[in-house]
A and B are shown apart, each in its own frame.
Chain A
Protein backbone atom coordinates (compact mmCIF):
# COMPACT_ATOMS: atom_id res chain seq x y z
CA UNK A 1 0.00 0.00 0.00
CA UNK A 2 1.07 3.56 -0.62
CA UNK A 3 -0.20 7.07 -1.13
CA UNK A 4 0.39 8.34 -4.67
CA UNK A 5 0.51 12.08 -5.32
CA UNK A 6 0.13 13.57 -8.79
CA UNK A 7 2.66 16.33 -9.46
CA UNK A 8 1.20 18.84 -11.90
CA UNK A 9 3.52 20.92 -14.05
CA UNK A 10 3.25 23.88 -16.39
CA UNK A 11 5.98 24.32 -19.02
CA UNK A 12 7.98 21.71 -17.12
CA UNK A 13 7.77 23.48 -13.76
CA UNK A 14 6.04 22.05 -10.71
CA UNK A 15 2.99 24.10 -9.75
CA UNK A 16 2.66 25.60 -6.28
CA UNK A 17 -0.63 23.72 -5.82
CA UNK A 18 1.30 20.47 -6.25
CA UNK A 19 3.64 21.36 -3.38
CA UNK A 20 0.53 21.61 -1.21
CA UNK A 21 -0.63 18.24 -2.53
CA UNK A 22 2.80 16.72 -1.79
CA UNK A 23 2.82 18.06 1.77
CA UNK A 24 -0.75 16.88 2.29
CA UNK A 25 -0.13 13.47 0.71
CA UNK A 26 2.95 12.87 2.87
CA UNK A 27 0.85 13.65 5.94
CA UNK A 28 -1.89 11.25 4.79
CA UNK A 29 0.74 8.53 4.26
CA UNK A 30 2.05 9.11 7.78
CA UNK A 31 -1.51 8.88 9.10
CA UNK A 32 -2.08 5.59 7.25
CA UNK A 33 1.32 4.20 8.21
CA UNK A 34 2.50 3.89 4.64
CA UNK A 35 4.86 5.70 2.26
CA UNK A 36 4.25 8.69 0.03
CA UNK A 37 5.14 8.26 -3.62
CA UNK A 38 4.50 10.65 -6.49
CA UNK A 39 4.08 10.63 -10.22
CA UNK A 40 5.12 13.29 -12.71
CA UNK A 41 4.38 13.14 -16.43
CA UNK A 42 6.31 14.56 -19.36
CA UNK A 43 9.48 16.61 -19.54
CA UNK A 44 10.33 18.52 -16.39
CA UNK A 45 12.92 21.19 -15.72
CA UNK A 46 12.78 21.28 -11.94
CA UNK A 47 14.95 19.47 -9.42
CA UNK A 48 12.68 16.48 -8.74
CA UNK A 49 14.78 14.81 -5.97
CA UNK A 50 14.53 18.08 -4.00
CA UNK A 51 10.76 17.56 -3.75
CA UNK A 52 11.66 14.99 -1.09
CA UNK A 53 11.68 17.85 1.38
CA UNK A 54 7.87 17.82 1.24
CA UNK A 55 7.88 14.24 2.51
CA UNK A 56 7.63 12.20 -0.69
CA UNK A 57 10.01 9.23 -0.79
CA UNK A 58 9.86 8.11 -4.40
CA UNK A 59 8.88 9.89 -7.62
CA UNK A 60 7.84 7.91 -10.69
CA UNK A 61 8.77 9.95 -13.74
CA UNK A 62 6.98 8.99 -16.94
CA UNK A 63 8.98 10.92 -19.50
CA UNK A 64 7.19 10.48 -22.78
CA UNK A 65 6.58 13.09 -25.48
CA UNK A 66 2.91 12.19 -25.57
CA UNK A 67 2.62 13.56 -22.04
CA UNK A 68 4.03 17.02 -22.53
CA UNK A 69 0.59 18.52 -22.70
CA UNK A 70 -2.58 17.55 -20.85
CA UNK A 71 -4.94 15.16 -22.57
CA UNK A 72 -6.90 13.97 -19.53
CA UNK A 73 -7.77 10.68 -21.23
CA UNK A 74 -4.11 9.81 -21.86
CA UNK A 75 -2.94 11.09 -18.46
CA UNK A 76 -5.60 9.06 -16.66
CA UNK A 77 -4.51 5.76 -18.21
CA UNK A 78 -0.86 6.37 -17.33
CA UNK A 79 -1.61 7.46 -13.75
CA UNK A 80 -3.80 4.36 -13.33
CA UNK A 81 -0.85 2.19 -14.43
CA UNK A 82 1.52 3.87 -12.00
CA UNK A 83 -1.05 3.59 -9.19
CA UNK A 84 -1.42 -0.15 -9.85
CA UNK A 85 2.34 -0.65 -10.00
CA UNK A 86 2.96 1.00 -6.64
CA UNK A 87 -0.14 -0.47 -5.00
CA UNK A 88 -1.61 2.93 -4.22
CA UNK A 89 -4.82 2.89 -2.23
CA UNK A 90 -5.00 6.66 -1.80
CA UNK A 91 -4.32 9.02 -4.70
CA UNK A 92 -3.90 12.74 -4.16
CA UNK A 93 -4.40 15.56 -6.67
CA UNK A 94 -4.61 19.28 -6.31
CA UNK A 95 -8.13 20.32 -7.24
CA UNK A 96 -6.66 22.86 -9.67
CA UNK A 97 -7.47 23.13 -13.39
CA UNK A 98 -5.71 19.91 -14.35
CA UNK A 99 -6.75 18.03 -11.22
CA UNK A 100 -10.38 18.81 -12.07
CA UNK A 101 -9.83 17.27 -15.50
CA UNK A 102 -7.99 14.12 -14.39
CA UNK A 103 -9.22 13.12 -10.90
CA UNK A 104 -12.87 12.49 -11.92
CA UNK A 105 -11.72 10.37 -14.88
CA UNK A 106 -9.43 8.33 -12.66
CA UNK A 107 -12.26 7.93 -10.14
CA UNK A 108 -14.55 6.50 -12.83
CA UNK A 109 -11.78 4.32 -14.24
CA UNK A 110 -10.74 2.77 -10.93
CA UNK A 111 -14.20 2.92 -9.31
CA UNK A 112 -12.41 4.85 -6.60
CA UNK A 113 -14.45 7.26 -4.49
CA UNK A 114 -13.46 10.89 -5.11
CA UNK A 115 -13.51 13.81 -2.70
CA UNK A 116 -13.18 16.84 -4.97
CA UNK A 117 -12.14 19.99 -3.15
CA UNK A 118 -10.93 18.54 0.17
CA UNK A 119 -9.97 21.12 2.78
CA UNK A 120 -8.61 18.94 5.61
CA UNK A 121 -6.81 15.69 6.30
CA UNK A 122 -8.97 12.55 6.25
CA UNK A 123 -10.53 11.37 9.48
CA UNK A 124 -9.65 7.68 9.67
CA UNK A 125 -11.05 7.03 13.14
CA UNK A 126 -14.21 5.56 11.61
CA UNK A 127 -13.77 4.62 7.98
CA UNK A 128 -12.33 7.29 5.71
CA UNK A 129 -14.05 10.66 5.91
CA UNK A 130 -12.84 13.86 4.27
CA UNK A 131 -14.11 17.39 4.75
CA UNK A 132 -14.88 19.48 1.68
CA UNK A 133 -16.61 22.76 0.98
CA UNK A 134 -20.10 22.70 -0.50
CA UNK A 135 -22.66 25.34 -1.46
CA UNK A 136 -19.85 27.53 -2.77
CA UNK A 137 -18.12 27.75 0.60
CA UNK A 138 -21.30 28.53 2.54
CA UNK A 139 -21.14 25.10 4.19
CA UNK A 140 -18.99 22.02 4.40
CA UNK A 141 -19.73 18.32 4.02
CA UNK A 142 -18.04 15.26 5.45
CA UNK A 143 -17.64 12.78 2.60
CA UNK A 144 -17.30 9.14 3.48
CA UNK A 145 -15.35 7.02 0.99
CA UNK A 146 -15.91 3.30 1.19
CA UNK A 147 -14.07 2.04 -1.91
CA UNK A 148 -10.74 0.13 -1.66
CA UNK A 149 -8.99 2.91 -3.58
CA UNK A 150 -9.85 6.55 -2.83
CA UNK A 151 -8.96 9.80 -4.51
CA UNK A 152 -8.65 13.16 -2.81
CA UNK A 153 -8.44 16.36 -4.85
CA UNK A 154 -7.12 18.97 -2.42
CA UNK A 155 -8.54 22.47 -2.67
CA UNK A 156 -5.77 24.96 -3.60
CA UNK A 157 -4.64 27.17 -0.68
CA UNK A 158 -6.39 24.92 1.85
CA UNK A 159 -3.30 23.16 3.17
CA UNK A 160 -0.06 24.87 4.09
CA UNK A 161 3.05 23.77 2.23
CA UNK A 162 5.70 22.53 4.65
CA UNK A 163 9.29 21.93 3.61
CA UNK A 164 11.53 19.79 5.79
CA UNK A 165 14.56 17.66 5.00
CA UNK A 166 14.87 14.82 2.55
CA UNK A 167 15.55 13.79 -1.00
CA UNK A 168 13.21 11.76 -3.16
CA UNK A 169 14.38 8.84 -5.23
CA UNK A 170 13.39 9.50 -8.86
CA UNK A 171 12.73 6.40 -10.95
CA UNK A 172 11.84 6.25 -14.61
CA UNK A 173 8.51 4.58 -15.22
CA UNK A 174 8.32 3.19 -18.71
CA UNK A 175 5.01 2.82 -20.43
CA UNK A 176 3.64 3.56 -23.86
CA UNK A 177 1.34 6.54 -23.50
CA UNK A 178 -1.31 6.90 -26.22
CA UNK A 179 -0.94 9.75 -28.68
CA UNK A 180 -3.00 12.67 -27.39
CA UNK A 181 -6.30 13.43 -29.12
CA UNK A 182 -6.37 16.90 -27.63
CA UNK A 183 -3.84 19.06 -29.46
CA UNK A 184 -2.42 22.23 -27.99
CA UNK A 185 -2.73 25.13 -30.43
CA UNK A 186 -1.61 28.08 -28.31
CA UNK A 187 -1.14 29.31 -24.76
CA UNK A 188 -2.04 32.80 -23.74
CA UNK A 189 -0.66 33.74 -20.34
CA UNK A 190 -0.28 37.16 -18.87
CA UNK A 191 3.44 37.08 -18.21
CA UNK A 192 4.95 38.42 -15.04
CA UNK A 193 1.62 38.62 -13.24
CA UNK A 194 0.58 36.43 -10.33
CA UNK A 195 -2.05 33.85 -11.42
CA UNK A 196 -5.27 34.61 -9.59
CA UNK A 197 -5.95 31.07 -8.40
CA UNK A 198 -2.44 30.69 -6.98
CA UNK A 199 -2.10 34.13 -5.43
CA UNK A 200 -1.56 34.50 -1.67
CA UNK A 201 -2.92 38.04 -1.81
CA UNK A 202 -5.68 39.26 -4.12
CA UNK A 203 -6.65 42.89 -4.66
CA UNK A 204 -10.13 43.07 -6.10
CA UNK A 205 -12.28 45.98 -7.16
CA UNK A 206 -15.85 46.61 -8.20
CA UNK A 207 -18.24 49.17 -9.58
CA UNK A 208 -17.16 51.62 -6.91
CA UNK A 209 -14.14 52.34 -9.11
CA UNK A 210 -16.51 54.13 -11.53
CA UNK A 211 -14.67 53.12 -14.70
CA UNK A 212 -11.77 51.09 -16.12
CA UNK A 213 -9.59 54.19 -16.41
CA UNK A 214 -9.35 54.33 -12.61
CA UNK A 215 -7.77 50.90 -12.16
CA UNK A 216 -4.24 52.27 -11.90
CA UNK A 217 -4.43 52.64 -8.11
CA UNK A 218 -5.74 49.09 -7.78
CA UNK A 219 -2.92 47.70 -9.91
CA UNK A 220 -0.36 49.77 -8.01
CA UNK A 221 -1.57 48.33 -4.69
CA UNK A 222 -1.48 44.82 -6.16
CA UNK A 223 2.07 45.32 -7.48
CA UNK A 224 3.23 46.59 -4.11
CA UNK A 225 1.80 43.50 -2.40
CA UNK A 226 2.88 41.06 -5.18
CA UNK A 227 -0.82 40.33 -5.40
CA UNK A 228 -3.10 39.21 -8.21
CA UNK A 229 -5.88 41.53 -9.36
CA UNK A 230 -9.51 40.47 -9.48
CA UNK A 231 -12.89 42.07 -10.00
CA UNK A 232 -16.61 41.66 -9.36
CA UNK A 233 -19.08 40.36 -11.92
CA UNK A 234 -20.59 43.72 -13.02
CA UNK A 235 -17.08 44.95 -13.77
CA UNK A 236 -16.28 41.92 -15.92
CA UNK A 237 -19.68 42.06 -17.63
CA UNK A 238 -19.15 45.72 -18.48
CA UNK A 239 -15.76 44.72 -19.97
CA UNK A 240 -13.92 47.08 -17.64
CA UNK A 241 -11.73 44.10 -16.79
CA UNK A 242 -11.16 40.72 -18.46
CA UNK A 243 -13.45 37.79 -17.55
CA UNK A 244 -10.51 35.85 -16.16
CA UNK A 245 -10.38 38.32 -13.26
CA UNK A 246 -14.00 37.75 -12.23
CA UNK A 247 -14.29 36.13 -8.82
CA UNK A 248 -17.61 35.00 -7.40
CA UNK A 249 -20.27 32.37 -7.77
CA UNK A 250 -20.00 32.20 -11.55
CA UNK A 251 -16.38 33.26 -11.88
CA UNK A 252 -13.35 31.94 -10.01
CA UNK A 253 -13.62 30.68 -6.47
CA UNK A 254 -10.45 31.63 -4.63
CA UNK A 255 -9.03 31.17 -1.15
CA UNK A 256 -6.07 33.52 -0.73
CA UNK A 257 -4.51 34.44 2.60
CA UNK A 258 -5.63 38.02 2.11
CA UNK A 259 -8.48 39.37 -0.01
CA UNK A 260 -8.81 43.13 -0.34
CA UNK A 261 -12.17 44.23 -1.76
CA UNK A 262 -12.36 47.79 -3.02
CA UNK A 263 -15.70 49.32 -3.97
CA UNK A 264 -17.47 45.94 -3.99
CA UNK A 265 -20.78 45.82 -2.13
CA UNK A 266 -20.50 42.10 -1.35
CA UNK A 267 -23.53 40.48 -2.92
CA UNK A 268 -24.02 36.88 -1.82
CA UNK A 269 -22.90 35.66 -5.26
CA UNK A 270 -19.62 37.52 -4.89
CA UNK A 271 -19.05 36.22 -1.36
CA UNK A 272 -19.53 32.66 -2.62
CA UNK A 273 -16.31 33.00 -4.60
CA UNK A 274 -14.18 34.57 -1.87
CA UNK A 275 -15.56 33.44 1.49
CA UNK A 276 -12.74 30.94 1.99
CA UNK A 277 -10.17 33.74 2.04
CA UNK A 278 -8.33 33.68 5.36
CA UNK A 279 -8.48 37.44 5.93
CA UNK A 280 -10.88 39.82 4.17
CA UNK A 281 -10.40 43.59 4.04
CA UNK A 282 -13.24 45.73 2.73
CA UNK A 283 -12.86 49.32 1.57
CA UNK A 284 -16.19 50.89 0.72
CA UNK A 285 -17.69 54.34 1.13
CA UNK A 286 -21.09 52.84 2.00
CA UNK A 287 -21.10 51.79 5.67
CA UNK A 288 -24.17 49.64 4.92
CA UNK A 289 -22.36 47.56 2.27
CA UNK A 290 -23.14 43.90 3.10
CA UNK A 291 -19.49 43.00 2.55
CA UNK A 292 -18.55 44.51 5.94
CA UNK A 293 -20.46 41.67 7.64
CA UNK A 294 -18.14 39.13 6.01
CA UNK A 295 -14.97 41.16 6.54
CA UNK A 296 -12.23 40.95 9.15
CA UNK A 297 -11.07 44.53 8.65
CA UNK A 298 -12.82 47.42 7.04
CA UNK A 299 -12.46 51.05 6.13
CA UNK A 300 -15.50 53.18 5.41
CA UNK A 301 -14.11 55.70 2.99
CA UNK A 302 -13.45 56.84 -0.53
CA UNK A 303 -11.35 54.27 -2.41
CA UNK A 304 -9.67 57.01 -4.42
CA UNK A 305 -8.18 58.37 -1.21
CA UNK A 306 -7.80 55.19 0.85
CA UNK A 307 -6.13 52.95 -1.74
CA UNK A 308 -3.16 55.25 -2.57
CA UNK A 309 -2.66 55.79 1.17
CA UNK A 310 -2.64 52.06 1.71
CA UNK A 311 -0.07 51.57 -1.06
CA UNK A 312 2.12 54.26 0.50
CA UNK A 313 1.80 52.73 3.97
CA UNK A 314 2.79 49.28 2.66
CA UNK A 315 5.77 50.72 0.80
CA UNK A 316 6.83 52.40 4.03
CA UNK A 317 6.43 49.15 5.97
CA UNK A 318 8.50 47.29 3.43
CA UNK A 319 11.08 50.02 3.19
CA UNK A 320 10.32 50.82 -0.44
CA UNK A 321 10.70 54.51 -1.19
Chain B
Protein backbone atom coordinates (compact mmCIF):
# COMPACT_ATOMS: atom_id res chain seq x y z
CA UNK B 1 0.00 0.00 0.00
CA UNK B 2 1.19 3.51 -0.78
CA UNK B 3 0.14 6.50 1.32
CA UNK B 4 0.77 10.13 0.44
CA UNK B 5 0.90 12.36 3.50
CA UNK B 6 0.60 16.13 2.99
CA UNK B 7 2.88 18.21 5.20
CA UNK B 8 2.56 21.94 5.70
CA UNK B 9 4.96 24.32 7.42
CA UNK B 10 3.19 26.60 9.90
CA UNK B 11 4.26 29.08 12.55
CA UNK B 12 4.57 27.58 16.03
CA UNK B 13 1.32 27.68 18.03
CA UNK B 14 2.83 30.32 20.35
CA UNK B 15 4.29 32.51 17.56
CA UNK B 16 3.64 36.22 17.74
CA UNK B 17 1.26 37.18 14.96
CA UNK B 18 2.21 40.44 13.24
CA UNK B 19 2.22 41.78 9.70
CA UNK B 20 4.53 43.87 7.54
CA UNK B 21 4.42 45.68 4.19
CA UNK B 22 1.36 47.71 5.05
CA UNK B 23 -0.37 44.67 6.57
CA UNK B 24 -0.11 42.54 3.45
CA UNK B 25 2.51 40.03 4.60
CA UNK B 26 2.91 37.82 7.66
CA UNK B 27 5.90 38.96 9.69
CA UNK B 28 8.24 35.96 9.75
CA UNK B 29 10.78 37.77 11.91
CA UNK B 30 11.66 35.53 14.86
CA UNK B 31 8.99 32.97 14.03
CA UNK B 32 9.67 29.32 14.84
CA UNK B 33 8.30 26.97 12.21
CA UNK B 34 6.74 23.61 12.91
CA UNK B 35 4.98 20.84 11.03
CA UNK B 36 1.32 21.79 11.03
CA UNK B 37 0.10 19.90 14.15
CA UNK B 38 -2.84 18.24 12.36
CA UNK B 39 -0.52 16.99 9.63
CA UNK B 40 2.00 15.68 12.13
CA UNK B 41 0.15 14.38 15.18
CA UNK B 42 -2.82 12.87 13.48
CA UNK B 43 -2.28 12.27 9.78
CA UNK B 44 1.44 11.37 9.62
CA UNK B 45 1.52 9.38 12.85
CA UNK B 46 -1.52 7.32 11.79
CA UNK B 47 0.22 6.56 8.48
CA UNK B 48 3.31 5.45 10.41
CA UNK B 49 1.15 3.17 12.56
CA UNK B 50 -0.25 1.59 9.39
CA UNK B 51 3.30 0.96 8.20
CA UNK B 52 4.19 -0.56 11.56
CA UNK B 53 1.23 -2.92 11.16
CA UNK B 54 2.17 -3.79 7.56
CA UNK B 55 5.84 -3.29 6.73
CA UNK B 56 5.17 -3.33 2.97
CA UNK B 57 3.40 0.04 3.30
CA UNK B 58 5.21 2.95 1.67
CA UNK B 59 4.77 6.47 3.04
CA UNK B 60 5.59 9.41 0.81
CA UNK B 61 5.45 12.95 2.11
CA UNK B 62 4.64 15.97 0.01
CA UNK B 63 5.07 19.61 0.82
CA UNK B 64 4.45 22.62 -1.40
CA UNK B 65 6.92 25.34 -0.59
CA UNK B 66 10.32 26.92 -1.03
CA UNK B 67 13.64 25.46 0.17
CA UNK B 68 13.03 26.85 3.68
CA UNK B 69 10.41 24.09 4.14
CA UNK B 70 13.13 21.43 4.10
CA UNK B 71 13.86 21.32 7.87
CA UNK B 72 10.16 20.64 8.39
CA UNK B 73 10.04 17.84 5.85
CA UNK B 74 13.24 16.31 7.30
CA UNK B 75 11.61 16.29 10.71
CA UNK B 76 8.60 14.53 9.21
CA UNK B 77 10.95 11.99 7.63
CA UNK B 78 12.57 11.51 11.04
CA UNK B 79 9.18 10.58 12.46
CA UNK B 80 8.84 7.92 9.82
CA UNK B 81 8.15 8.68 6.15
CA UNK B 82 10.05 6.74 3.46
CA UNK B 83 10.70 9.58 1.07
CA UNK B 84 9.59 13.13 0.47
CA UNK B 85 8.68 15.33 -2.45
CA UNK B 86 8.90 19.09 -2.27
CA UNK B 87 7.13 21.04 -4.96
CA UNK B 88 9.41 24.03 -5.33
CA UNK B 89 7.20 27.10 -5.26
CA UNK B 90 6.03 29.86 -3.01
CA UNK B 91 2.60 28.85 -1.92
CA UNK B 92 -0.31 30.84 -3.28
CA UNK B 93 -3.87 29.95 -2.35
CA UNK B 94 -5.27 26.61 -1.27
CA UNK B 95 -6.40 25.70 -4.79
CA UNK B 96 -2.89 26.27 -6.14
CA UNK B 97 -1.41 24.06 -3.42
CA UNK B 98 -4.09 21.39 -3.89
CA UNK B 99 -3.41 21.30 -7.64
CA UNK B 100 0.31 20.67 -6.95
CA UNK B 101 -0.48 17.89 -4.47
CA UNK B 102 -2.99 16.34 -6.88
CA UNK B 103 -0.30 16.25 -9.56
CA UNK B 104 2.14 14.48 -7.21
CA UNK B 105 -0.65 12.07 -6.23
CA UNK B 106 -1.41 11.29 -9.88
CA UNK B 107 2.23 10.52 -10.62
CA UNK B 108 2.61 8.26 -7.57
CA UNK B 109 -0.61 6.25 -7.82
CA UNK B 110 -1.41 6.24 -4.10
CA UNK B 111 -4.04 4.17 -2.27
CA UNK B 112 -4.56 6.89 0.32
CA UNK B 113 -3.93 10.60 0.57
CA UNK B 114 -3.81 11.90 4.16
CA UNK B 115 -4.05 15.58 5.15
CA UNK B 116 -4.54 17.33 8.46
CA UNK B 117 -7.99 18.81 8.98
CA UNK B 118 -6.62 22.33 8.52
CA UNK B 119 -3.43 24.33 8.84
CA UNK B 120 -3.18 26.49 11.92
CA UNK B 121 -2.22 29.57 9.88
CA UNK B 122 -4.91 29.91 7.20
CA UNK B 123 -7.48 27.59 8.83
CA UNK B 124 -8.93 26.78 5.42
CA UNK B 125 -9.79 23.08 5.83
CA UNK B 126 -9.72 23.04 2.04
CA UNK B 127 -6.76 21.06 0.73
CA UNK B 128 -8.14 17.55 1.26
CA UNK B 129 -11.47 18.25 -0.42
CA UNK B 130 -9.84 20.03 -3.35
CA UNK B 131 -7.29 17.25 -3.90
CA UNK B 132 -10.09 14.65 -3.76
CA UNK B 133 -12.12 16.54 -6.36
CA UNK B 134 -9.12 17.01 -8.66
CA UNK B 135 -8.43 13.25 -8.42
CA UNK B 136 -12.15 12.38 -8.60
CA UNK B 137 -11.87 10.31 -5.41
CA UNK B 138 -14.08 10.02 -2.33
CA UNK B 139 -13.21 12.29 0.58
CA UNK B 140 -13.78 11.86 4.28
CA UNK B 141 -13.13 14.95 6.35
CA UNK B 142 -12.48 15.38 10.08
CA UNK B 143 -11.57 11.74 10.58
CA UNK B 144 -10.97 10.68 14.18
CA UNK B 145 -10.40 6.95 13.59
CA UNK B 146 -9.16 4.91 10.66
CA UNK B 147 -9.07 1.13 10.38
CA UNK B 148 -8.27 -0.89 7.28
CA UNK B 149 -9.39 -4.40 6.38
CA UNK B 150 -8.14 -5.45 2.96
CA UNK B 151 -9.08 -2.60 0.64
CA UNK B 152 -12.00 -1.32 2.70
CA UNK B 153 -11.49 1.36 5.32
CA UNK B 154 -13.72 2.07 8.28
CA UNK B 155 -13.44 5.75 9.13
CA UNK B 156 -15.03 7.62 12.02
CA UNK B 157 -15.65 11.29 11.40
CA UNK B 158 -16.84 14.17 13.54
CA UNK B 159 -20.37 15.42 13.10
CA UNK B 160 -22.29 18.01 15.12
CA UNK B 161 -22.74 16.61 18.60
CA UNK B 162 -21.09 13.26 17.97
CA UNK B 163 -19.51 11.09 15.35
CA UNK B 164 -20.44 8.71 12.58
CA UNK B 165 -18.77 5.66 11.16
CA UNK B 166 -18.34 5.40 7.38
CA UNK B 167 -17.08 2.65 5.14
CA UNK B 168 -15.24 3.40 1.93
CA UNK B 169 -13.03 1.45 -0.46
CA UNK B 170 -9.49 2.55 -1.38
CA UNK B 171 -8.36 4.80 -2.94
CA UNK B 172 -9.62 7.95 -1.24
CA UNK B 173 -8.58 11.16 0.48
CA UNK B 174 -8.92 11.82 4.20
CA UNK B 175 -8.42 14.78 6.54
CA UNK B 176 -7.36 13.84 10.05
CA UNK B 177 -8.15 15.41 13.39
CA UNK B 178 -7.73 14.64 17.06
CA UNK B 179 -8.26 11.00 17.94
CA UNK B 180 -6.55 9.49 14.88
CA UNK B 181 -3.24 8.98 16.67
CA UNK B 182 -1.15 10.27 19.55
CA UNK B 183 1.68 12.76 19.06
CA UNK B 184 5.18 11.27 18.87
CA UNK B 185 8.68 12.67 19.18
CA UNK B 186 11.28 11.59 16.60
CA UNK B 187 14.00 9.38 18.10
CA UNK B 188 17.73 9.63 17.37
CA UNK B 189 17.63 6.67 14.97
CA UNK B 190 14.84 8.32 13.01
CA UNK B 191 16.67 11.65 12.90
CA UNK B 192 19.85 9.95 11.59
CA UNK B 193 17.92 7.92 9.03
CA UNK B 194 16.06 10.99 7.82
CA UNK B 195 19.30 12.60 6.66
CA UNK B 196 19.74 10.04 3.91
CA UNK B 197 16.12 9.48 2.95
CA UNK B 198 15.32 10.75 -0.56
CA UNK B 199 13.93 14.28 -0.75
CA UNK B 200 12.97 14.97 -4.33
CA UNK B 201 12.41 18.49 -5.52
CA UNK B 202 10.12 19.02 -8.45
CA UNK B 203 8.86 22.10 -10.22
CA UNK B 204 5.20 23.17 -9.93
CA UNK B 205 2.61 22.67 -12.63
CA UNK B 206 1.15 25.87 -14.05
CA UNK B 207 -2.11 26.65 -12.26
CA UNK B 208 -3.89 29.92 -11.58
CA UNK B 209 -4.70 30.72 -7.97
CA UNK B 210 -8.40 31.51 -7.43
CA UNK B 211 -8.01 33.91 -4.52
CA UNK B 212 -5.45 36.25 -3.01
CA UNK B 213 -4.98 37.97 0.33
CA UNK B 214 -5.51 41.70 0.02
CA UNK B 215 -4.64 42.45 3.62
CA UNK B 216 -4.35 41.24 7.20
CA UNK B 217 -5.41 42.73 10.48
CA UNK B 218 -5.48 42.05 14.18
CA UNK B 219 -8.73 41.91 16.14
CA UNK B 220 -9.35 44.85 18.48
CA UNK B 221 -7.90 44.27 21.92
CA UNK B 222 -10.30 43.35 24.71
CA UNK B 223 -11.32 46.27 26.91
CA UNK B 224 -9.97 44.45 29.95
CA UNK B 225 -11.50 42.05 32.39
CA UNK B 226 -14.17 43.18 34.81
CA UNK B 227 -13.50 41.34 38.05
CA UNK B 228 -16.32 40.38 40.36
CA UNK B 229 -15.81 39.30 43.97
CA UNK B 230 -16.10 35.55 44.57
CA UNK B 231 -18.58 36.26 47.38
CA UNK B 232 -20.80 38.18 44.98
CA UNK B 233 -21.54 35.74 42.16
CA UNK B 234 -25.06 37.18 41.81
CA UNK B 235 -23.44 40.39 40.55
CA UNK B 236 -21.68 38.44 37.79
CA UNK B 237 -24.97 36.86 36.77
CA UNK B 238 -26.61 40.29 36.76
CA UNK B 239 -23.84 41.69 34.52
CA UNK B 240 -24.12 38.76 32.13
CA UNK B 241 -27.86 39.26 31.97
CA UNK B 242 -28.15 43.06 31.86
CA UNK B 243 -24.84 44.32 30.48
CA UNK B 244 -23.49 41.54 28.24
CA UNK B 245 -27.01 40.26 27.48
CA UNK B 246 -25.58 36.81 27.05
CA UNK B 247 -27.84 34.92 29.46
| Chain A residues near B (Cβ < 8 Å) | 10, 15, 17, 71-73, 76, 95-97, 100-109, 111-117, 129, 132-147, 181-190, 193-198, 201, 225, 236, 243-244, 246, 249-251, 253, 257-258, 268-269, 272, 275, 278-279, 281-282, 292-302, 305-306, 309-310, 313-314, 316-317
Most chain A CB inside 10 Å of its own CB: which residue of B94, B139, B219: B139
B194-247 interface (Cβ within 8 A of A): 210-219, 222-223, 225-230, 233-234, 236-241, 244, 246-247
Most chain A CB inside 10 Å of its own CB: which residue of B13, B136, B157, B165: B13
Q: A96-B160, A292-B225 are in contact. List 10 more A-B contacts (CB 8 A).
A: A72-B132, A101-B129, A116-B124, A135-B11, A142-B215, A183-B166, A188-B165, A201-B246, A269-B14, A275-B219
> Count of B residues near A, CB < 8 Å?
82
Stretch at the interface among B50-58, B71-79, B82-90, B115-123: B115-123
Query: Is B168 interfacial (CB-CB < 8 Å)?
Result: yes
| Chain B residues near A (Cβ < 8 Å) | 11, 13-14, 17, 19, 37-38, 41, 93-95, 98, 117, 120-134, 136-142, 144, 154, 157-169, 172, 178-179, 210-219, 222-223, 225-230, 233-234, 236-241, 244, 246-247
- How long is the Cα–Cα vector from A238 to B162 in the complex, in angstroms? 20
- How long is the Cα–Cα vector from A161 to B213 in the complex, in angstroms? 28
Contact of A73 among B127, B137, B216 (CB under 8 A): B137
- How long is the Cα–Cα vector from A244 to B149 in the complex, in angstroms? 26
A-side contacts of B19, CB under 8 Å: 139
CB-CB under 8 A for A103 and B129, given A96-B160, A181-B169, A317-B241: yes
Contact of B228 among A105, A137, A142, A299 (CB under 8 A): A299
Question: Is A107's CB under 8 angstroms from B130's CB?
Answer: yes
- How long is the Cα–Cα vector from A294 to B138 in the complex, in angstroms? 41
B-side contacts of A76, CB under 8 Å: 133
Question: Is B129's CB under 8 angstroms from A139's CB?
Answer: no
A-side contacts of B134, CB under 8 Å: 108
Question: Is B138's CB under 8 angstroms from A72's CB?
Answer: yes
Question: Is A306's CB under 8 angstroms from B230's CB?
Answer: yes
- How long is the Cα–Cα vector from A97 to B138 in the complex, in angstroms? 16
Contact of A141 among B141, B215, B240 (CB under 8 A): B215
